[in-house]
Amino acid sequence: MNLARRTMNAPALAAVYERAWRPTLFYLASGRSTGADRRFAVDSLRLGTARRVLDIACGPGNFTRYLSEHVPADGYVTGIDYSPPMLARASADNSGPRAGYVRGDARNLPFADGTFDAVCCFGALYLIPDPLHAAREMIRVLAPDGRLAVTTSYRPGNAFGELTRRTAAVSGLRMFDGQTFPDLFAAAGLVDIDQQMHRFLQYLTAVKPAAAVPQHEGRSTTSNSEV
Locate all alpha helices (DSSP H) within the chain, ordered by sequence. Answer: 3-8, 11-16, 22-30, 34-45, 64-68, 84-93, 131-141, 159-170, 180-187
By CB under 6 A, is residue 105 in contact with ligand SAM? yes
**DSSP letter for each residue of 7-41:** HHT-HHHHHHIIIIIHHHHHHHHHS--HHHHHHHH
Stretch that binds ligand SAM, among 53-61, 68-76, 142-150, 194-202 (CB under 6 A): 53-61
| Options 50, 53, 67, 106; binder of ligand SAM; rule CB under 6 A | 106
Q: Residue 201 in contact with residue 154, Cβ under 8 Å?
A: yes
Stretch that binds ligand SAM, among 45-53, 80-88, 188-196, 198-206 (CB under 6 A): 80-88
Residue 76 C-beta: closest distance to ligand SAM, Å: 18
Stretch that binds ligand SAM, among 68-76, 121-129, 141-149, 201-209 (CB under 6 A): 121-129
| Options 123, 141, 175, 207; binder of ligand SAM; rule CB under 6 A | 123
Cα four-point dihedral sign 214, 44, 98, 34 = positive
At 59, is the secondary structure helix, strand, or coil? Answer: coil
In angstroms, the Cα distances linking 4 to 32, 35, 98, 168 are 22, 25, 30, 10
By CB under 6 A, is residue 58 in contact with ligand SAM? yes
Nearer to ligand SAM, 81 or 212 (CB): 81
Return the residue nearest ligand SAM (CB atom).
Answer: 59
In the complex, the residues that contact ligand SAM under the rule CB under 6 A are: 8, 22, 57-59, 62-63, 81-83, 86, 105-107, 122-124, 127-128, 227
